Chain A
Amino acid sequence: DGGITQSPKYLFRKEGQNVTLSCEQNLNHDAMYWYRQDPGQGLRLIYYSQIVNDFQKGDIAEGYSVSREKKESFPLTVTSAQKNPTAFYLCASSKQNMNTEAFFGQGTRLTVV
């Protein structure tokens, strides 16, 4: 079945450590996105990529990094520079024009202790 997969579902890390969240899609979508979800703030865009080997910062990119070496994969690294990394992270993908529909993964809950 086609879809978008995030792993792991839950992730715990010690403060000061970098951590990478995985996002894989087999929908043959060109565009991929990372959002952060906090209570009462909706979803905020971290990074997005509309084509392989290219990506752009979203509204809250500080403390995060991404890569897009393959069409199917768009991993997100939460670095130690991110001041408040504990959150729910959602990955999405869409055809080049997102006005059709964006497909979301099931999310990763990151807890930094």
Chain B
Amino acid sequence: AQTVTQSQPEMSVQEAETVTLSCTYDTSENNYYLFWYKQPPSRQMILVIRQEAYKQQNATENRFSVNFQKAAKSFSLKISDSQLGDTAMYFCAFMKGQGAQKLVFGQGTRLTINP
């Protein structure tokens, strides 16, 4: 079974700083997808960024980028120029490329951006 681990329960940074959230996963699959979801205080889950395991290039979405290290099974999220609106729970998630299409989530990291 696949597992996803987020080792940082809480993080806090000042506005405009850069912050990196860690995520590791365990799988024997070679074809899979990785995601970062954001859950603000409204509790609405929002997709931040996704990465296909077969792509070596790290995904980027505006201020959000990932560092995908397939051999190390690591998938960290970097938020540049952090904003107050980035305050949220962040979940790392894994999905197999074939078979049952379901997301496996990590425990989450609570990120607070301070003014």
Q: How far is the CB of A81 from chain B (nearest CB, A)?
A: 23
* CB-based nearest B residue for A40: B107
Pairwise interchain contact A33-B107, C-beta atoms closer than 8 A: no
Interface residues on B, range: 20 to 34
Q: Could you tell me if A90 and B33 are in contact, using CB atoms closer than 8 angstroms?
A: no
Quick check: A41 and B107 within 8 Å, CB to CB? yes
Whole-angstrom distance between the alpha carbons of A40 and B6 in the complex? 11
Q: Which residue of chain B lies nearest to A88 when distances are taken between CB atoms in the complex? A: B43
Among B100, B103, B107, the most chain A Cβ lie within 10 Å of the Cβ of B103
Contact partners of B9 in chain A: CB under 8 A:
40
Within the complex, the shortest CB–CB distance from B91 to chain A, in Å, comes to 6
Inter-subunit contact B102/A96 (CB<8 Å): no
Chain B nearest CB, measured from A109 CB (Å): 9
The majority secondary structure among interface residues of chain B is loop
Does A2 make an interface contact (CB < 8 A)? Answer: no
**A102 touching B103 in the complex, CB below 8 Å, given contacts A43-B91, A88-B43:** yes
Chain B positions within 8 Å of A96 at CB level:
101
A8 CB to nearest B CB, Å: 14
Judged by a CB distance under 8 angstroms, whether B111 is at the interface is no
Asked whether, in the complex, the Cβ of B44 is within 8 Å of the Cβ of A99, the reply is no
Residue A107 at the B interface, CB < 8 A?
Answer: yes
Q: Is the CB of B105 within 8 A of A43?
A: yes
- A89-108: which residues lie under 8 A (CB-CB) from chain B? 90, 92, 94, 96-99, 101-102, 104, 106-107
Q: List the interface of chain B (C-beta within 8 A of A).
A: 4, 6, 9, 33, 42-45, 47, 50, 52, 91, 95, 97, 100-108
Binding site for B on A (CB under 8 A): 31, 33, 35, 40-45, 48, 50, 56, 58, 88, 90, 92, 94, 96-99, 101-102, 104, 106-107
